[in-house]
Amino acid sequence: MRARQQTQAYSNGPPAVDARRAMLVGALLDLDGEAPSVISSHLATGGNSHENWVFRVRRKGRESCLVLRCDPDDWIRPEEMEREVAGLTIAEAINVPAPRLVASHHTRRADRPYTIVNFVEGESIPRRIHSAPNLAGARATLAETCGAILGKLASTPLDLARGLQLRDPIETLRGWYSRAEAPSPVLSGAVQWLTGSAPAAGAPSVVHGDFRLGNLIVGEDGVRAVLDWETVHLGDPYEDLAWLCQRAWRYGGAGPVAGLAELDELFAAYAGVSGAQVDVERFRWWLVWGASLWALVCREQATVRRAGAGDDMECAAVARLVCLQEANVLAELEHWVG
Amino acid sequence: MNQAQPPVFDAPDAIEIVRKVARFLEEEVRKDLSDARLGYRVRVAVNLLRLVERELAAHPSALDADGRVATAELVGQFGSLRALTEALGTGERSILEPDVFWALSQYTQMRVSIASAEEPQ
């Protein structure tokens, strides 16, 4: 979740490939005892507000593809990159599919925090995951796989999660709400209701924090990697379950789980791994929470654009689309109307 | 027996002017642009003009006490978006009250139909 215009990241011109290459070569030199040769490099599209550089390298005679992830010059966020490292480390420890962490600012310091991971081949663009003929098998098992992944996350021994922050859902929501330039009746009412009806907190567990289509790499064999661990925290596992099922992430599909499947498949797989049955009413509360949070993020995005790169026209377009997210909030709230 | 009345001259109204400018940008300006970034921005401009066209065509929607576009039901019941927002924020009213929920649903649906990227009918 980023309230930041992509083009702002490059307001000082395109990021310097030479500097990023030096960062990668230095890190691999420390690891291997010899410098790799860089065969090619390019800046991947997407990646939210981070730079994701794809390097093809030869290390000790073997070719491989690596991804260097770091922040742009004018928006360095050490805490997020620390969480990215923590999340990738946890994923590997509990056998959740994720890019394998090769190096980071912990193994060799640089002018900013970074991670280097192996490149995972596959599809991450949601609409292609929805429609590509060769991914039909992956679509059929996606809900089950995601349920199992979230079950594992929820069962993570907490000694693996030392250093992760406990995030209170109402504090988080109210934080975003208080930054909103002007309140809207829908979000004002939703935040008030969520505050008064929050379920009792359970034992905290590891929460990815942005678990959805778009942050999954999918291949013919299923989910190959969960990406973007920079929002990992301790909290309620229902946050991830409900976030995956947000209407905003269904991309026109009918099924509540990522637009592809029914809840039963997700819940059964989650319960099978975690040993905990899903409380549907609690899940529904988290659906409202997620829809409200995303609407608030979109509102802030419109505001930041207004204050940022001076593109008032795009800002106006984004601001006018916030109502689509508010409609999602109301759709989730309808269940609770007396 | 009715006789055909002669037409009265009238300049294009706001909807028609906005439609004409959008069509000009879409059909004459955008297709000749080689700069992809500029082409994108022209498309954003066209989409915004289409949105303005839909908002103008959405009348008779009501203006609330602060002059903001709302629905007649919402204005009649709550006066203004600001007043409703304050009542919800303080807990004086709940979003789950059926009349509040219904008014907000109607209002949001109106906003969505204006924001929708589909061509106006």
Residues 6+ apart with CB under 8 A from A266: A143, A144, A146, A147, A241, A244, A245, A257
pLDDT recorded at residue A8: 39
Contact A330 B96 (CB under 8 A): no
CA A152 to chain centroid: 17
For residue B25, the distance in angstroms to the closest alpha carbon of chain A comes to 15
Joined tokens for residue B50 = 């289409």
Residue B118 has pLDDT above 60, yes or no: no
- Cβ of residue B104 closer than 8 Å to a chain A Cβ: yes
Residue B114 has pLDDT above 80, yes or no: yes
CA distance A324 to B108: 8
CA distance A160 to A90: 6
CA distance A233 to A83: 8
Local confidence band at B117 (pLDDT 50, 70, 90 cut-offs): low
Between B39 and A257, name the one with better pLDDT.
A257
Contact B44 A324 (CB under 8 A): no
Residue of B73, B78, B84, B108 to mutate, interface with A, max A Cβ within 10 Å: B108
pLDDT recorded at residue A11: 41
pLDDT recorded at residue A12: 43
Residue B107 has pLDDT above 80, yes or no: yes
- Cβ of residue B101 closer than 8 Å to a chain A Cβ: yes
Q: Three-state DSSP class for A316?
A: helix
pLDDT recorded at residue A16: 77
What is the predicted ipTM? Answer: 0.85
Contact pairs from chain A to chain B, CB under 8 Å:
76
Sign of CA dihedral A151, A157, A162, A165: positive
Is the Cβ–Cβ distance between A235 and A169 less than 8 Å? yes
Taking a contact as any Cβ pair under 8 Å apart, which residues of chain A between 18 and 57 contact chain B? none
Residue B110 has pLDDT above 80, yes or no: yes
User: Chain B: residue nearest A317 by CA?
Assistant: B48
User: Chain A: residue nearest B74 by CA?
Assistant: A185
CA distance A118 to A54: 9
Candidate from A193, A323, A338 with C-beta closest to B112: A323
CA distance A251 to A72: 29
pLDDT per residue as tens digits for the range B54-93: 888 876 668 888 888 889 999 999 999 999 999 999 999 9
Local confidence band at B13 (pLDDT 50, 70, 90 cut-offs): confident
Taking a contact as any Cβ pair under 8 Å apart, which residues of chain B between 37 and 96 contact chain A? 41, 44-45, 47-48, 51, 81, 84-85, 88-89, 91, 93-96
Q: Which residues of chain A have pLDDT under 70?
A: 1-15, 46-48, 304-311
Contact A196 B91 (CB under 8 A): yes
Joined tokens for residue A220 = 């013919």
Q: From its phi and psi, is residue A180 left (phi > 0), alpha (psi between -120 and 50) or beta?
A: beta
* Global confidence as pTM: 0.87
Candidate from B48, B84, B112 with C-beta closest to A185: B84
CA distance A19 to A44: 16
Taking a contact as any Cβ pair under 8 Å apart, which residues of chain A between 183 and 212 contact chain B? 183-186, 188-190, 192-193, 196
pLDDT recorded at residue A317: 79
Percent of chain B clearing pLDDT 90 (strictly above): 44
